[in-house]
Amino acid sequence: MPFLNMNSSKLNLLLNTVNTYLRLNSDVKQTILKKYFKENFTLFWNTTSSNTRYFHSSLKAAQVQKDGVTVLPSPQEVTTILRKNEFNKEFTTGSIKCYDSNQLASNDPIEDTRCEAQCRMTSGLIMGVFDGHGGPACAQVISKRLVDYIAAALLPIETLHKYIQQDPREALVDTFNNRVEILQELKILYERSFRQYLAELANLPHEGYNVPTALEQAIIKIDQDLSKEAVEPYKLNQVINPQTLSVALSGAVACVTHVDGPNLHIANVGDCNAVLGILTEDKEWIAKKITKEHNSENFDELKRIWNEHPDNERKTVIRRDRLLGELAPLRSLGDYRYKWPIEILMKVAVPLIGPKAIPANYHTPPYLTAKPDLYYHRLSTRDKFLILASDGLWDMMTPLQAVKLVGEHMKGKVFFNPLKLPRKNIQLGDINELLLHRKESLKSKPKDRNAATHLIRHAIGGTEYGVDHSRLAHLLSLSPDVSRMFRDDITVTVMYFDSEFLRQCPA
């Protein structure tokens, strides 16, 4: 068996991993077996693999040794870890009342990013979740730049021409919770690419305000720009910039939504997902999974890839449920190791990262596309919220479980607010009944005000009987090499819709 050839450190790591694995409930065990042991067996048996998406570990160990005994973080310390990156934003107009977001790292540094922005020259909110692999570079750059590309593509032609002539140009979007900062030299390069994109938009035929077209154009164009910015110096006989090359060679999947009044548009590339929480007339929660993953479990996606390559590559283009035996998502931005011609890879990528830059059986590129699937949903009063999340969440719970958790959170979080009497001159007996009802209802008050944190807490520590602190503390305190075997980075955004606003929208 393969583990008999391990050295002692690897064997100890495996034993520690198995010991932690045995603590988990059956549902989580099945998820780990399916996704991490099946797909990532090379973590132990092929440590030279070129695919780093699932092999890059992260979270700093929180457990400490005291008198030779391992001490796990306390409930307060666990909560501090979980709430470190949470964010909330409220709105006074439009169909979105507010949103909650949070992230929990497993990789170090975290490879997930997210973006939220309000369009300034058109109406609508743009929100996205980006799951990086092979490092955080691609996901970070996309999260900073994509909102501007989308906002520009949404501009009416007259407004676009005026905007191009501005000097300096005003911002197209107001961003929230913007924590990623790009280096100055890259800002100059990205600004030049964006100006070229604006010029191209001005020469394209415009059919008016078309959100699906804008989303697709922006995603495809920014992916093309990542390639151009990395390869252009080579074509001009200049020194290749290792920063732009690292962005192009790493990758990211993306789930981006644009909400304008009752109109919800979603563009999806890869295996992040958007799930709608719907409340029926019978007060039952329904989870409507809007997106569909681009991975080996999507047979239509497998057929698409097989049809794009010769029949003699059928056994090599998808191996071990991965593209060319390496990449789990079958669509992504960046990842130009699977898109460039072999001559470009030889001249640009191999000098930097060696022969492994060219995947095995690389005969008829491109093998990968950034073209998104597009979805539309008209919001109704029954639509209460939308969950955008990276696959780190969906690996740990089903869409229905997530929707029910957010639905329960909606009901319970009202108790974070002080009690307000429903009317003046209320009788003491009525106040007593109100207080008794509130006391009983306080049992459902969630531990976290932020719904994204609430989901992450239950994803990591949830059991059939609620959250198990010892499990939660243990999984949050695993050493970096072990942590990644149990979960991915998790990024969650929960958008709440204004039912009264949607009720007043014309049919």
My answer on whether 63 and 8 are in the same domain is: yes
**Paired sense of beta strands 69-71 and 64-66, if any:** antiparallel
Tokens 């034993």 label which residue?
15
Do 48 and 69 belong together in one domain?
yes
Determine phi and psi for 127, rounding to 5 degrees. Answer: -135, 140
Distance CA 426, CA 421 (A): 8
Buried b (16+ CB within 10 A) or exposed e, 154-184: bbeeeebeebbeeeeeeebbeebbeeeeeee
Distance CA 225, CA 239 (A): 18
Distance CA 452, CA 99 (A): 9
17 inside domain: yes
Beta carbons within 8 Å of 244's beta carbon, 6+ residues apart = 186, 189, 226, 229, 230
- Inside any domain, residue 173: no
If asked whether residues 476 and 421 sit together in one domain, one would say no
Within-domain flag for 179: no
Task: Provide the residue range defining the domain that includes 430.
Answer: 415-445
What pLDDT score does 108 carry?
87
11 and 64 both lie in a single domain: yes
Answer for the pair 82, 89: CB distance below 8 angstroms, yes or no.
Answer: no
Which DSSP letter does residue 133 get?
A: E
Alpha-carbon distance of 338 to 109, in angstroms, equals: 24
The sign of the torsion formed by the CA atoms of 402, 408, 409, 410 equals positive
- CA 119 to chain CA centroid, nearest Å: 21
pLDDT at position 228: 97
User: What is the DSSP code (8-state) at residue 412?
Assistant: H
Residues 433 and 453 in one domain: no
* Beta carbons within 8 Å of 65's beta carbon, 6+ residues apart: 71
Q: Are residues 8 and 60 in the same domain?
A: yes
* CB < 8 Å & 24+ apart, contacts of 337-345: 337/50, 337/249, 338/365, 338/366, 338/367, 338/368, 339/227, 339/365, 339/366, 339/367, 339/368, 340/227, 340/231, 340/365, 340/366, 341/365, 344/231, 344/234
* pLDDT given for residue 67 in this prediction: 56
Question: Are residues 9 and 62 both part of a single domain?
Answer: yes
- Count CA within 13 A, CB hemisphere, residue 51: 20
Burial of 391 (0-12, 13-18, 19+ CB in 10 A): buried
Predicted local distance difference test score (pLDDT) of residue 54:
30
Q: Is residue 27 part of a domain?
A: yes
Token pair belonging to 386: 């939308």
CA dihedral 179, 154, 335, 133 (to 10 degrees): 30
In a domain, residue 325? The reply is: no
Tell me the one-letter amino acid at 133: H
pLDDT tens digits in sequence order for the chain, 507 residues long:
333 334 444 445 544 555 554 455 555 545 544 444 333 332 222 222 333 333 233 334 445 555 556 688 999 999 999 999 999 999 999 999 999 999 999 988 999 999 999 999 999 999 999 999 999 999 999 999 999 999 999 999 999 999 999 989 999 999 999 887 888 999 999 999 999 999 999 998 876 679 999 999 999 999 999 999 999 999 999 999 999 999 999 999 999 999 999 999 999 999 999 999 999 999 999 999 999 999 999 999 999 999 999 999 999 999 999 999 999 999 999 999 999 999 999 999 999 889 999 999 999 999 999 999 999 999 999 999 999 999 999 999 999 999 999 999 998 766 556 666 777 788 888 878 777 766 666 666 789 999 999 999 999 999 888 899 999 999 999 877 788 888 999 999 999 999 999 999 886
Q: Which two tokens stand for residue 310?
A: 């010769």
3-state secondary structure of 473: helix
pTM for the structure as a whole: 0.84
Q: Which residues contact 115 (CB under 8 A, 6 or more apart)?
A: 126, 127, 128, 130, 143, 144, 146, 147, 175, 178
The answer to whether position 401 is within a domain reads no
Indicate if 58 and 6 belong to the same structural domain.
yes
Alpha helices in 155-298 (DSSP H): 157-165, 184-203, 211-235, 242-249
Distance (Å, rounded) from C-alpha 388 to C-alpha 492? 6
CA distance 242 to 191: 19
Same domain, 27 and 57: yes
What is the Cα Rg of the chain in Å?
Answer: 24
d(CA 442, CA 220): 49
Question: Looking at the structure, do residues 421 and 479 belong to the same domain, yes or no?
Answer: no
Query: Rounded CA gap, 85 and 15, in Å?
Result: 32
Q: What is the tally of structural domains in the chain? A: 2
DSSP state of 346: I
**Within-domain flag for 28:** yes
> Phi-psi region for residue 416, left (φ > 0), alpha (ψ -120 to 50) or beta?
alpha
Could you tell me the CA-to-CA distances from 336 to 225, 230, 252, 424, 476 in Å, in that order?
12, 10, 11, 67, 34
Residues 25 and 65 in one domain: yes
Same domain, 75 and 19: yes
On whether residue 156 sits in a domain, the answer given is no
What is the per-residue pLDDT for 59? 36
Per the CB < 8 A criterion, the answer to whether 327 and 335 are in contact is yes
CA distances to 33, 56, 65, 459 from 18, in Å: 11, 19, 21, 20
Helix/strand/coil (H, E, C) string of 50-85?
A: CCCCCCCCECCCCCEEECCEEECCCHHHHHHHHHCC
Give the DSSP letter of residue 349: I
